[in-house]
Structure 1
């Protein structure tokens, strides 16, 4: 079982990412390059849904893995801030996996 600290850090990284993207005015999302918008919209929405109040950790981990897998394919188009947050998410996910 993953340690509570690892779980909290992973969930914090996931929330930080979706909070950047899904603001009230969606300004950041709308400013993303078209390829990023097109490719990451659905995986990021899945991560947002997985982070609901009744979320299961495994659902969040799966959604995060999908975000990272897609992001790797369009890495050159990612703005630096978004790339850093996705990197944090992946590090947190890997730490969870290593704690098991």
Structure 2
């Protein structure tokens, strides 16, 4: 199995776990986890359906950077799926993932998924007056 296929399978696992039709799993998540992961995970789902491998890698990176601060509050099955997704992204990146400029408000692909870099980037954003991207988004409930 190639690196792109592993990344797609890991991303599908997380999306299918959290974004179900009945929203039962999503509603059972701690509020902090739900607030941080829903919107970036929706972007991962869109990239799986419509995007290129590089767009998927970029969406996964944004999701991982948003999920890192609340990883300790995640249920065990979600934490395991996120760990698998992080490993899939790391395996895919050396093969020439995103090579363009970073998305405004996200970390660069070179450091995505690395919690120490995420914390540094958040501190920098706070100093220059930009909040974490997920804090600007309305809370989604269905």
- Using the size of structure 1 for normalisation, the TM-score is 0.89
Work out the CA distance in 1 between the residues paired with 2:22 and 2:64: 24
Aligned to 2:127: none
Matches within 5 A, 1:1-100: 5-52=2-49, 54-100=50-96
Work out the CA distance in 2 between the residues paired with 1:80 and 1:70: 18
Gaps of 5+ in 1: none
Work out the CA distance in 1 between the residues paired with 2:13 and 2:71: 19
Structure number with the higher helix fraction is 1
Bigger radius of gyration among the two: 2
Cα deviations by residue, 1:22-79 (Å, 9 ceiling, x for unpaired): 1110111110000011111111111111111x32111110110011111111111111
Q: Number of aligned residue pairs: give it.
A: 96
- Using the size of structure 2 for normalisation, the TM-score is 0.64
Runs of 4+ in structure 1 off by over 3 angstroms are: none
Work out the CA distance in 2 between the residues paired with 1:96 and 1:51: 15
RMSD (CA atoms):
1.2
Gaps of 5+ in 2: 97-142
Q: Comparing both chains, which one has the higher relative contact order based on Cα–Cα distances under 8 Å and sequence gaps of 6 or more?
A: 1
